[in-house]
Amino acid sequence: MLSKKRELMQDKIALVTGSSRGMGRDIALRLADIVSGVAVHYKSNREEAIQVIKAIKQRGKLSASFQADLTKEREASGLIKKVQEKFGKIDILVNNFGPLLVKPWERVTSKDWEYILRSNLESAFFCLKAALPGMRKRKWGRIINIGYSRAEQLVAFPTIMPYAVSKTGLLILTRTVAASVAFLGITVNMVSPGLIEGGILPSSKSVPIGRLGKFKDISEAILFLVSEKAGFITGTNLIVAGG
């Protein structure tokens, strides 16, 4: 049975980018347990997005899918506008969209570099910039950016260099925006996964807790940060990496 605090979020609308599959899908489905509606975003997997919508509606919640290439500012701002027109508002924004590129840095092309940075950093900037006016007006909002567990450590990883650069930049963006809107009742935080089951780098040998993370580990962290219990937490980077 849901707690009283979670029931208080039944009037909220959430948008999860990149939510047609994987971790984004899990985040969308778990948010659907505590809010009144979840907007599902996809870039190309329309059929998978439809399946997520069906699962959300089976929970008795509102849902709809929206296609957009978030590497383009016009489409990102258009996504926010369409969701607001459909549901009336966006209370919770989870910037989950963004691929991981594994390639030795010497072989990274300018096209690779631009795509990874636009997907993982600029897409979040575009979306939160477009969503913030509505949150400011209502004096309430929750923005969660998905990072990666080593962002704060500035560790050199030659095979994921553009990804690491983009997520480090995302942390700076998170804290900058958080400081500027905190007085309005809007929190902006980052959740940074470590090695996750089903990921490209599936090895638990370096995880102190002895296992790979699960999607639910990330989703539960997000559920906490969007709740009223976390209303005094902003600008933080919650590392979910098993130590």
Annotated catalytic sites, by residue? 163
Which is nearest to 120 in space by CA: 88, 147, 87?
147
Count CB neighbours of 241 within 10 A. 18
**Residue 171: CB partners within 8 Å, gap ≥ 6?**
147, 151, 152, 190, 237
Given the structure tokens 């704060």, which residue do they identify? 152
Residue 175 C-beta-side C-alpha neighbours within 13 Å: 11
Six-digit token string for 219: 């989703």
Asked if 228 and 12 touch (Cβ cutoff 8 Å), the reply is: no
| Rounded Cα gap, residues 122 and 127, in angstroms | 9
Which is nearest to 220 in space by CA: 209, 229, 207, 208?
229
Distances (CA, A) of 142 to 20, 161, 166: 21, 29, 21
In the β-sheet with 13-16, what is the strand arrangement from edge to edge?
62-67, 37-42, 13-16, 92-95, 141-146, 186-193, 237-240
Asked if 20 and 53 touch (Cβ cutoff 8 Å), the reply is: no
